[in-house]
Chain A
Amino acid sequence: MDTILPAVAREVLRLEASLSMGEAVAYARSMSVTPEDSALMLRYQDGDVTAFETLYRRHKDSLYRYLLRLSRNRDTAEDVFQEVWGKIIKSRHRYRPTAKFTTFLYHVAHNCFIDYVRRNNRHMVASAMDPDCRPDPGDEPDLEAEKSFARQRLDAALGTIPDEQRDVFLLHEEAGLSIDTIAQVTGVKRETVRSRLRYATSKLKTALAEPAAQTQRTA
């Protein structure tokens, strides 16, 4: 995971762990080359709307995909998505950069989704998600059709695994969270997260491999 983050971000995280709160905030605010999420959120706290726009565009798609595949319902995903950002906007004055913004964001998203399900008493039934994906102009029509078919297989495979395992898998893949962070977000033990992730990966691998094997046999 460390290879994914830029070197500057890793330095910020290291300093945040060693510095006091005030020093960490000041350091975050001083990052101007590539503003980190915490710095952007603090600037939005001070009234900078453009900082929020940057932060939003950075995380909106991955959050949307997380909610889309977690709920397996497009309308639910959009409702929860809007609710998550609404809560973040309302709580901007209480935001403190004690953890990564991504952890904060997906923690809120996870809780909002659970509350939404309880509130609506809705079992997560897969519906036609019909994700709003823009076809790559460079792709050939056949390639686009194949991609769409593969996506449907992926979604179907995700539907076969339990909700808790799917949640852990998506937090890992979309948010890029570590095992410990996922444990913090979901409120379970570290070992529980590991086992859920292991099982989810194994089942997906099996589910994704089967059609391909059938295709090879028919071919």
Chain B
Amino acid sequence: MNQDDDKQQAADIDPHVSAHYASLADEKTPADLDNAVLREAARAVRADNRKGSFETWYRPVAFGATVGLSLAIILDLSDPGIFSPPADMSLETALPVQALPETTADRGTEPAQLPGRQSDRAPAVSQTQGAALENRTGVSDEFTAEVERAKQRVQEMEAAAGTTLKPTPNVAAKFTRPRPAIALKPRSLEAPFECSDEQKSDVEEWWKCIETLRQSGQAEAANLELENFREIFPDFELPE
């Protein structure tokens, strides 16, 4: 403050009034008011200390937890797990097909082609695909039980036939749709599927009917008629 300001201020006030005021204005603050203010000041510092100690540790912990959780999510998503199918799996190979085991009568015959139907023979399930399916479809236990039962049936059949079936390294691969025992030829609409009674009354007519059934591709019907024929005419010499 410069001297001019001092002079101005001196001119604005009356020193007697100031002195009079200073001599009389000697009030003090009440004690309870002092205590309240000082308590609040101390409480504020305590709150700062508590907040400071909390902040010193909760930020690093929160950061670490966030990083850890993020890494866990990333690692879990990068692992295929059960939610992402393998690249080589397709709908046709995804479904395991269960079928009866092969019989001795089926061996060596070509699969029959029924008229009007495409081959519905399911492709064999490879060992790796089977293992992959076990891991993903959750039916491995059931599938394994079926395999075991099939093995048992094969063993029973072997015992009954007195021979051993050709061992197959991959039992699951053999579980396909059964091949028809006889390759059926396309059936003619005009060909009969059984011999009439008139034909059966004559041995030669009945035999011709049987031949006709066989030539028309109805081997099953022909065999059935042949069996009946042999029962009735056991002495008839069948042509070679």
Interface residues of A (CB under 8 A from B): 1-2, 44, 47, 49, 52-53, 56, 60-61, 64-65, 68-69, 78, 81-82, 85-86, 89-90, 92, 131-134, 147, 150-151, 154, 172-174, 178-180, 194, 197-198, 201-202, 204-205, 208
Contacts and interface: CB of A to CB of B under 8 A. Distances in A.
* Main SS class of interface, B: helix
28 contacts: A47-B48, A61-B27, A64-B27, A64-B33, A65-B27, A81-B33, A82-B33, A82-B37, A85-B37, A85-B40, A85-B41, A86-B37, A89-B40, A133-B28, A134-B28, A151-B24, A173-B22, A173-B25, A178-B5, A178-B9, A180-B1, A194-B8, A194-B12, A197-B13, A198-B11, A201-B12, A204-B21, A208-B17
Interface of B: 1, 5-6, 8-9, 11-14, 16-18, 20-22, 24-30, 33-34, 36-38, 40-42, 44-45, 48-49
Residue in B8, B25, B44 with the greatest tally of chain A CB atoms within 10 Å: B25
A95 to B, nearest CB: 13
Nearest to B44: A89
Contacts of B44: 89-90, 92
B28 A201 contact: no
Contact of B12 (A85, A92, A198, A208): A198
B9 A49 contact: no
A150 B24 contact: yes
Contact of B37 (A56, A69, A172): A56
B25 A49 contact: no
A132 B18 CA distance: 21
A90 B13 CA distance: 36
A187 to B, nearest CB: 19
A133 B6 CA distance: 33
Given A49-B41, A82-B36, A85-B37, 7 more contacts: A1-B6, A60-B29, A132-B29, A154-B20, A178-B9, A198-B12, A204-B14
Contact of A154 (B24, B29, B36, B41): B24
B66 to A, nearest CB: 28
Nearest to A198: B12
A211 B29 CA distance: 29
A60 B29 CA distance: 7
Nearest to A158: B21
Contacts of A179: 5, 8-9, 12
Contacts of B13: 172, 197-198, 201
A205 B17 contact: yes
Contacts of B21: 154, 173, 204
